[in-house]
Amino acid sequence: MADPAQRGHPMFLADRLPLAARTAPFPLLVASGMLESVHADRLRADFPRYGEAGFFPWNAADCGPSINTLVAELTAPAVADAIGQRLGVERLSQYPPLVTLCRSLNSRHGSIHTDSQSKIATALLYLNAEWPHGPAGSLRLLAQPADIASQVVPEILPVYGNFVAFRRTRNSFHGHLPFEGERLALQVAWLADAAAHARKTRRGNTSRTLKKLLGGLDRWWKRRAA
């Protein structure tokens, strides 16, 4: 059967976005079922197979066609503006989107933060078939900078079709309990300007190169010591 996305049906179901965002302590919206189940296997098969943990800048050559289609839909001006309208950002599409993808995390990820000042808004879409790990690795949107239990909404399990977007503010605290392992996520951050986009893309690519190098050295050392 043909992929519905190839027949002109969108993969990301923007019409299912909540009509209004929560405004306190910062503008945010949470939704589930934002992807039809028919796309699930194809999206996971097309997801880049990074050997390193963390979020890395999207590169079409790393991905299969369904992931590239999904990226195009999430960064489309109409979708950006629909998200921005709910978050109180006029014409979010005027800001350059930076797409990053994560296949796995290590236990150092997830510390509480607000995102950098160059980010206008952030959206996360999850692709994991299931999440048997409970709160570990589940996103928490928080009221306090040093209290991972100060949740303002129930924690968001990183399962297929779950979606969260929030406006970056001085108190847009978020994080998660430590988790190490596979956790498929696609993130879009709309940035203040092209310079910030170039800087973060360069930094992300450098980080991946260093992780590859250090990982290779670590594997070599383990083989040598065996």
Task: Render pLDDT for 111-168 as a digit per residue (tens, 0 to 9).
Answer: 999 999 999 999 999 999 999 999 999 999 999 999 999 999 999 999 999 999 999 9
**Given this model, what pLDDT does residue 41 score?**
98
Q: Minimum mean pLDDT among 8-12, 15-19, 127-131, 179-183: which range?
A: 8-12
pTM across the whole model = 0.89
CA atoms within 13 A on the CB side of 128: 19
The mean pLDDT value for 185-211 works out to 88
**Given this model, what pLDDT does residue 4 score?**
45
Does position 186 have pLDDT exceeding 90, yes or no?
yes
Q: What secondary structure, in 3-state letters, does 121-155 show? A: EEEEEECECCCCCCCECCEEEECCCCCCCCECCCC
The mean pLDDT value for 179-200 works out to 96
Structure tokens at 46: 């097309």
Structure tokens at 154: 């129930």
Most confident range (mean pLDDT) of 148-152, 211-215, 216-220 is: 148-152
Q: Minimum mean pLDDT among 9-23, 63-77, 144-158, 209-223: which range?
A: 209-223
The mean pLDDT value for 79-89 works out to 98
Place of tokens 């992300």: 204
Non-local (6+) Cβ contacts of 178 within 8 A are 107, 108, 109, 110, 136, 137
* One-letter amino acid for residue 206 of the chain: T
**Given this model, what pLDDT does residue 217 score?**
40
